[in-house]
Amino acid sequence: MSIEKLELVSIVGALPELDDAIIACLQSRVFHIENAGKLIGAADDSGRSRAEDDQYAEALRALSEFDVRRIRPDTEREPLPGEFSPEQIISEAGRISAGLRDVRQQLEDTRRRITEYENAAIHLKYLQSSDIDLGELSRCRHILHRFGRMPEENLQKLEFYSDEGFIFQGYHTAHEYVWGFYFAEQTRIASVDAIMKGLLFEEYRLPEDLDGTPQQALESLQMKLTEQKAQLEKLSTEEQRIYEAEAPLLGRMYCYARYQSEVAKLRAQCIVMHDKFNLMGYVPVSEKEQFKKHIDNVPDLAVAYEAPISNSQVKPPVRLKNGWFSKPFSMFIEMYGLPDYNGFNPTTFVAITYTLLFGIMFGDLGQGLVIALLGFLLHKKKNLTLGAVMTRIGVSSAFFGTLYGSVFGFEEALDPFYEKLGISFLPLKAMENINFVIFGAVGIGAAMIIISMLVNIITKTRRRNFEDGIFGNNGLAGLAFFVTVLLLVGGLVTGKQFISKGAAAAVIIVTMLLMFFREPLGHWMAGKRFESEGIGDFILLNLFECFEFLISYTSNTISFIRVGGFVFSHAGLMSVVMLLSEMAANSHMSIPVIILGNAFVMGLEGLLVGIQVLRLEFYETFSRCYDGDGEPFTPISVSFDDLSETRQSEQTAKA
C-alpha cells in the first residue's frame, strides 16, 4: 500500500488564543506538532519560545502525594475551561492530605511494628530452649548485652579475648552459625562491640518490651502480631474510605492539572513574535475535516494548509497506510525503521513474501492450521499483533503442507486424495524432488532481489539520486548485470542458451564500468560537480567496492538456499518423530510421542523459520531498496504515565 498523505498546517493568531489553539489540536487527536522555528528555518533571534514555567507544575507535585491508581480518574473526559486554578488544586490537595496524614502515620507505625515483631519471632525461635528472663536483661543498666549470631568456627577465637571482660553465651547452633548473647560492663561495651564485630558477630535488636522466657515472649509476640494486623486492616479501611470520598474531586483535579501541564510543554514548539504566535504541524488529509471541526471553534485564527516541506532539520512524519492483510506486518517495518515520507511502503511486499516463504519452509497442513488457530485466539483474546501474523502464516503453512502431502508429519496422508483426483505431480515430496526444491529456492531469492532493485530504481530516480538509482549496484546497471549473470547460470544448469556469451560479456563489462564510475556519472546526470580526493584513491576504493558488489550478489542469492534447507529439515524432523512413535508402539506411547513431537517441532522450528524469513527480508531485500530513517506520525495527546505500568512518550497516540 502507500504512505498516508499529510498536509502541513500553519496556525497564526493573537497570543491570548495560543492555549485555546493548542487545546483544539489536542482534542482533534490527529495533529502532529513540529517545532515551528525549525520548519521555517527561523534564526535564533527571530522570535521567542513559549517555554515559560508550567503554572500547574506545583499543583501536580501536590497531587503526586496521592496514589493516582486508587483515584481512577476518567482520562477520556475533556476538562472544562478554567475548571481549577493552580491555587485551588494546591489548597484542596492540602486539605485532603491533612485528613490522610494521621492515618498514614499510624499505618507506617503499625507496619514498622509488625515487621519488628515478625523479625523478633524468627530470632526468638533460636532461644526457645533457654530459660533466660528477657525482661530482666532489658532492665539491667550496668551490664549490657547484645543478641545475634556469629560463625561457629569463630567460637574458639573467643579464648584469645578471655581477659577483655565479656562473656559470650551460645544457645542454638544452625547453618554453621551460633545464636546467643554476649555481656559486658557499660564502660567496656564499646571495645567489646569492636572485638565481636571482628569475629563477624551480627547483632539483631529485640523489642524492648519483651518479658519472660523466650517461649513466653514468643507467645506474647504472636498475640501482639494479631492485634497489630487487625489494627493495620482497620487503618487501611479508613484510608480507603477517605480515598473513595475524595476520588471524584482528586480525579478531576489530576486530569485538569496534567492537561494544562501538557499544554505548557507544547507551547515550547511554537514561536512568538511580539503579540502573535505561530503553531505548526501535520494533519492526515483523510482526517482534515475532523481537525477543522476543532480548530475552527477558536476565533480569530489564520489557518493555512499546504504540502509538506522538508529541510535539513525537519522531515515530514510517516504513517503507513495498509490493507487488512498486510497491516499486522507493519510491526516488522517499524522494527527496521519507517520509510521516508516520499519513499516506498514495503509492508505489502513483506506481507506477501513473508507469508509465502514461511509456508514453503514450514509446510504442514495440520501444524499450519494449529498455528493459524493459536494466532486467531491470541489476536482476539489478547489483541496481539503477532497473533494476526500467525494466522496468516499458519494458513500459508497449511496450503503448502497440502501441496507437500504432509499432515502432522504423516507424509502419505494425502496420497489417496490426489490419486482419486488424478493429479500425478502432487503431492510434492521434498526428499524426492531435491533439485527442484533447491533451484526453486534460489529462483525465489533471485525474484525478490530483482523486485527490490526495481523498487530502489524507482524511489532513487524520483529523488534524482542517479548515483544509486541508475549506476549503483542496486540501480539499473546492477539490475542488468544481475539478470545477465542469472541467464548465464540458468543456461548452464538447464543446458539451454538464454543469452549469447558475446552479448553477456558485453553487458557485464559495460555494467561493471558504469558501477565503477557511478559517482561521477551520477553527479553529471544530476547536474552537480564531482570532486575526487585523488585518482589513485578513487581507483582503489571503487575496485574494492565493485568486488564487494560481486560478493553481495552471490551471497544474497545463495542465502535463499536456506528456504529449501528448512523444507528438508522439517521433513527430517517429522520423520524422526514418526520413527520414535513406531519404537514406542509396544508401550502404548505412540500417540503421546506424536503429539509431543508435533508440539516440539511447531515451537522450535516455527520460531527458527520465523526468524530466518525475517532475516531474509531485512538483509537480502531491505538492504537494497530501503533506508528506514523516517519519523513516526504521533498526534499530540495528554500523557497519563502515572496510570500505566510501562511509560509512554508524551505523544502516545499511534496510527
Average pLDDT over residues 488-514: 89
Measured distance CA(354)–CA(356) in Å, rounded: 6
Average pLDDT over residues 478-507: 90
Measured CA angle at 457 (ends 455, 459), to 5 deg: 65
pLDDT over 80 at 651, yes or no: no
Burial of 432 (0-12, 13-18, 19+ CB in 10 A): exposed
Q: Which contiguous run of DSSP H or E holds residue 48?
A: strand 48-49
3-class DSSP string for 166-193: EEEEEEEEECCEEEEEEEEEHHHHHHHH
DSSP symbols for 520-580 = HHHHHHTT-----S-HHHHHHHHHHHHHHHHHHHHHHHHTTHHHHHHHHHHHHHHHHHHHH
* The pLDDT of residue 301: 92
Q: How confident is residue 652, by pLDDT bands cut at 50, 70 and 90?
A: very low
* Number of neighbouring beta carbons within 10 Å of residue 451: 15
| Predicted confidence (pLDDT) per residue in 604-640, tens digit | 999 999 999 999 998 888 888 888 888 899 998 887 7
pLDDT over 80 at 654, yes or no: no
Which amino acid would we find at residue 11? I
From the DSSP assignment, how many helices (H) and strands (E) are in the chain? Answer: 23, 12
* The pLDDT of residue 35: 87
DSSP symbols for 482-504 = HHHHHHHHHHHHHS--SS-HHHH
* The pLDDT of residue 273: 84
Q: Do domains 1-51+268-319+635-655 and 132-212 have the same CATH topology?
A: yes
Rounded (10°) angle between helices 385-404 and 347-361 = 50
- Strand-pair partners of 272: 48, 277
| Predicted confidence (pLDDT) per residue in 76-110, tens digit | 777 777 788 999 999 999 999 888 888 989 999 99
Q: Nearest CA to 47 among 302, 281, 310, 276?
A: 276
- Strand-pair partners of 177: 151, 174
Q: Nearest CA to 210 among 144, 121, 110, 112?
A: 121
Average pLDDT over residues 397-421: 90
CATH code: domain 132-212 is 3.30.70.100
Q: Which contiguous run of DSSP H or E holds residue 198?
A: helix 189-198
| Predicted confidence (pLDDT) per residue in 143-176, tens digit | 898 999 999 999 989 888 888 889 998 888 888 8
Mean pLDDT of the chain: 87
Q: What is the DSSP letter of 631?
A: P
Q: How confident is residue 1, by pLDDT bands cut at 50, 70 and 90?
A: low
Measured distance CA(441)–CA(561) in Å, rounded: 6
Q: Nearest CA to 316 among 285, 357, 349?
A: 285
Pick from 58-62, 282-286, 519-523, 620-624 the range whose average pLDDT is largest: 282-286
* The pLDDT of residue 641: 62
Topology (CATH) of 1-51+268-319+635-655 = Alpha-Beta Plaits (3.30.70)
Burial of 498 (0-12, 13-18, 19+ CB in 10 A): middle
pLDDT over 50 at 186, yes or no: yes
Average pLDDT over residues 222-231: 92
Q: What is the DSSP letter of 152?
A: G
pLDDT over 90 at 215, yes or no: no
**Of the ranges 136-140, 282-286, 480-484, which one carries the lowest mean pLDDT score?**
136-140
Q: Which residue has the higher pLDDT, 493 or 646?
A: 493
Q: Locate the domains of the chain by residue range.
A: 1-51+268-319+635-655, 132-212, 330-339+346-625
Burial of 295 (0-12, 13-18, 19+ CB in 10 A): buried
* The pLDDT of residue 536: 83
Measured distance CA(102)–CA(117) in Å, rounded: 22
Cell numbers at residue 441, please? 529456492
Q: Provide the phi-psi class of 588: left if phi over 0, else alpha when psi is between -120 and 50, else beta.
A: left
pLDDT over 60 at 643, yes or no: no
| Predicted confidence (pLDDT) per residue in 555-591, tens digit | 888 889 999 899 998 888 998 999 988 888 777 788 8
Which amino acid would we find at residue 154? N
Q: Which residue has the cell 494466532?
A: 375
